[in-house]
Amino acid sequence: MQSYDPQATLIAVQVLTIIGLGVVARARLRRDPKIGRPLFIELDSGGFKPVMFAVQTGLLIIALRTDGFPALFSALTLYGTGVLTWLAPGAGDRACGEEGAFCGWYGRRYEDLEAWRIKEGRFSFPLSGQWAEIDVPPDKRARLHKILSGVCPEREVVAGE
């Protein structure tokens, strides 16, 4: 019968965390510059991030109090997963900027939008086959409409079309 090697498990988790950080960094480097200077940002992980931080903190406490468990390795591993959790885009993250918008992991420059509309305080545009929607604060709606009308006025979808 094989014995359990916690250090091997932690190394595997560290490798997966490093790969995850690379994926998140690449996604953010592709997404974030597309919006230019932000007009507004709404970060919403849907409660996922606080739960993950609580789980990671609990695991860290357990690891540090368990005899014979590699505490330093555990702390480093959980620190890495905490950073990954913090940096990963939330599915509900939304932002509009001077040059583009993003929803979750994906962003578009305004000039690349196939279509767009602002209706009842919501900015909508096609993203990955579905209409993405962003609630626009009342004080930013006129500014956003002006930007979109200047960049791609012909792609505005008017009610009834």
1 within a domain of the structure (yes/no): no
Phi, psi of 129 (to 5 degrees): 85, -5
133 within a domain of the structure (yes/no): yes
**Enclosing domain of residue 143:** 6-155
19 within a domain of the structure (yes/no): yes
23 within a domain of the structure (yes/no): yes
**Are the beta carbons of 80 and 11 closer than 8 angstroms?**
no
pLDDT digits (tens), the chain, 161 positions: 566 677 777 788 888 889 999 999 999 999 888 999 999 999 887 788 888 888 888 887 887 777 766 777 778 888 888 888 888 888 889 999 999 999 988 999 999 999 999 999 999 999 888 999 999 999 999 999 999 999 999 999 986 55
160 within a domain of the structure (yes/no): no
Q: How many domains does the chain have?
A: 1
> At how many degrees (to 10) do helices 48-65 and 71-87 cross?
170
β-pair type (94-97, 38-42): antiparallel
Give the model confidence (pLDDT) of 44-85 as tens digits. Answer: 877 888 888 888 888 878 877 777 667 777 788 888 888 888
Give residue 7's pLDDT: 74
| pTM value surpassing 0.85 | no
